[in-house]
Amino acid sequence: MITYSDNDLMRIEYDATLKAVVYAWKKGNHGMTEEQYKTEMRRALAAVQEYKALTVIAYMVDSEFTVKPQLQDWLNTEVMYQLFPYGCRYVIVVLSQDFIARLSIEQVFEEKTENRVGNMFVGSMEAARVEAAKFLQAA
């Protein structure tokens, strides 16, 4: 694993064996501002672009941040829509333990406008890695 970025809110790594960018929200992000959220998501998107990742694994287990409707729209137009041109074909989400945070992320994918990028929800990082390996074999 190559560490792309690591700060108080998020760790971003690249797993060359899976051709996957893995970003993990850290505990204590409940009070994060929308601007901080956007900054971190732009950083994750930059990693996808730099490594031409086939898959993004979003580890949301420790996230307590609720993605509000206007931010869900921003995710769809500014992040999800850019994944395909950067080479990404799949997003695997390891869901948060926090019900509201989990629901807000599920809503993003229900309303996503970029249908060329597949998505799935799993319950563990191990399951995410298994699915990413399948995607790589199929590519």
The pTM of the full predicted model, rounded to 2 decimals, is 0.90
Q: Which of 68, 71, 60 is nearest to 102 (CA)?
A: 60
Please tell me the distance from the alpha carbon of residue 1 to that of residue 11, in angstroms, as a whole number.
12
**Per-residue pLDDT tens listing for the chain (139 residues):** 999 999 999 999 999 999 999 999 998 888 899 999 999 999 999 999 999 999 999 999 988 888 888 888 898 888 888 998 999 999 999 986 766 666 767 776 676 666 778 888 898 999 999 999 999 998 7
Residue ranges making up the domain that contains 36: 2-138
Task: Please report, for the domain that includes residue 24, its CATH number.
Answer: 3.30.750
Task: Please give the tally of structural domains in the chain.
Answer: 1
